[in-house]
A and B are shown apart, each in its own frame.
Chain A
Amino acid sequence: MRGRRRAPPPFPMFASCTDPSTLSGFPWLACYLTTGKHLAFYFSFLVVLALLVLAAPAALAMGLGAALARRSRIGPLRWVAGLYTSMVRGVPDVIFFLFVPIALDQAIEWTRHKLLCPDVTEPIRRGNDFVVCAQAKLPLSSADAWVHDVYGFLLALIAYALVFGAFAANVLDGALKAVPKGQLEAAQAIGMSPGQVLRRVHVPQMWLYALPGLSNLWQILIKATPLLFLLGIEDVVYWARELGGAKTQIFAYPHPDWRAWYFGGLMLFYLLLTWISQRGYERMMTRLARGQKVAGA
Chain B
Amino acid sequence: MKSIPSLLAATVLTAALAAPAMAQTVRMGTEGAYPPYNFVNDAGEVDGFERELGDMLCQIAGLECAWVTNEWDSIIPNLVSGNYDVIIAGMSITDERDEVIDFTQPYFPPDPSAYAALAGAGEDVLAGVVAAQANTIQAAHVASSGATLVEFASPDETVAAVRNGEVDAVIADKAYLVPIVEQSGGELEFVGEDVVLGDGIGVGLRESDGELKQKLDAAITQLKEDGTLNTLIRKWFGDEAQTF
Q: Which of A36, A154, A252, A259 contacts B12 (CB 8 A)?
A: A154
In chain A, positions 2-55 with a C-beta closer than 8 Å to chain B are 2-6, 8-9, 11-12, 35-37, 39-40, 53-54
Q: How many Å lie between the Cα of A147 and that of B13 in the bound state? A: 10
Q: Is the Cβ of A134 less than 8 Å from the Cβ of B21?
A: yes
Among A138-146, A166-174, A196-204, A269-277, the one that faces the other chain is: A138-146
Most chain B Cβ neighbours within 10 Å, of A5, A116, A147, A151: A5
Q: Which of A35, A127, A143, A254 contacts B207 (CB 8 A)?
A: A127
Residue of A nearest to B46 (CB): A5
Q: Mark A78-105, 1 if CB is under 8 A from B, else 0.
A: 0000000000000000000000001001
Among B70-78, B126-134, B219-227, the one that faces the other chain is: B70-78
Given that A5-B46, A36-B42, A154-B5 are contacting pairs, would A128 and B100 also be in contact in the complex, using a CB cutoff of 8 Å? yes
Is B234's beta carbon under 8 Å from chain A?
A: no
Residue of A nearest to B75 (CB): A2
Among A183-191, A217-225, A238-246, the one that faces the other chain is: A238-246
Q: Which residues of A contact B27 (CB under 8 A)?
A: 141
A149 → B minimal CB distance (Å)? 10
B76 → A minimal CB distance (Å)? 9
Q: Mark B58-81, 1 if CB is under 8 A from A, else 0.
A: 000000101111110010001011
A204 → B minimal CB distance (Å)? 19
Given that A4-B69, A246-B160 are contacting pairs, would A132 and B40 also be in contact in the complex, using a CB cutoff of 8 Å? no
Given that A3-B69, A36-B42, A37-B44 are contacting pairs, would A142 and B19 also be in contact in the complex, using a CB cutoff of 8 Å? yes
Q: Is the Cβ of B179 less than 8 Å from the Cβ of A138?
A: no
Q: Is the Cβ of B5 less than 8 Å from the Cβ of A54?
A: yes
Given that A2-B84, A36-B45, A141-B25 are contacting pairs, would A248 and B35 also be in contact in the complex, using a CB cutoff of 8 Å? yes
Interface residues on A, range: 35 or more
Q: Which residues of A contact B2 (CB under 8 A)?
A: 57-58, 61
Most chain B Cβ neighbours within 10 Å, of A4, A39, A252: A4
Q: Which of B15, B40, B46 contacts A143 (CB 8 A)?
A: B15
Given that A232-B70, A253-B42 are contacting pairs, would A142 and B82 also be in contact in the complex, using a CB cutoff of 8 Å? no
Q: Is the Cβ of A242 less than 8 Å from the Cβ of B207?
A: no
Q: Is the Cβ of B69 less than 8 Å from the Cβ of A37?
A: no
Most chain B Cβ neighbours within 10 Å, of A129, A150, A151: A129
Q: How many Å lie between the Cα of A148 and that of B67 in the bound state? A: 12
Q: Is the Cβ of B12 less than 8 Å from the Cβ of A142?
A: no
Q: Which of A40, A141, A151, A252 contacts B24 (CB 8 A)?
A: A141
Q: Which of B1, B39, B45, B180 contacts A5 (CB 8 A)?
A: B45
Q: Which of B25, B101, B179 contacts A250 (CB 8 A)?
A: B179
Q: Which residues of B contact A135 (CB under 8 A)?
A: 20-21
Q: How many Å lie between the Cα of A142 and that of B32 in the bound state? A: 21
Residue of B nearest to A20 (CB): B42
Q: Is the Cβ of A3 less than 8 Å from the Cβ of B71?
A: yes
Q: Is the Cβ of B68 less than 8 Å from the Cβ of A3?
A: yes
Q: Which residues of B contact A285 (CB under 8 A)?
A: none
Q: Which of A5, A139, A157, A249 contacts B44 (CB 8 A)?
A: A5
Q: Is the Cβ of A242 less than 8 Å from the Cβ of B45?
A: no
A109 → B minimal CB distance (Å)? 7
B116 → A minimal CB distance (Å)? 13
Q: Mark A227-261, 1 if CB is under 8 A from B, else 0.
A: 00000100000000110011011111110010100
Given that A129-B80, A131-B82, A154-B12 are contacting pairs, would A248 and B180 also be in contact in the complex, using a CB cutoff of 8 Å? yes
Residue of A nearest to B9 (CB): A154
Is B166's beta carbon under 8 Å from chain A?
A: no
Q: A126-B208, A232-B74 are in contact. List 4 more A-B contacts (CB 8 A).
A: A11-B43, A142-B64, A248-B35, A250-B48
- Give chain A's interface residues, CB within 8 Å of chain B: 1-6, 8-9, 11-12, 35-37, 39-40, 53-54, 57-58, 61, 102, 105-106, 109, 116, 126-132, 134-135, 137-143, 145, 147-148, 150-151, 154, 157, 232, 241-242, 245-246, 248-254, 257, 259
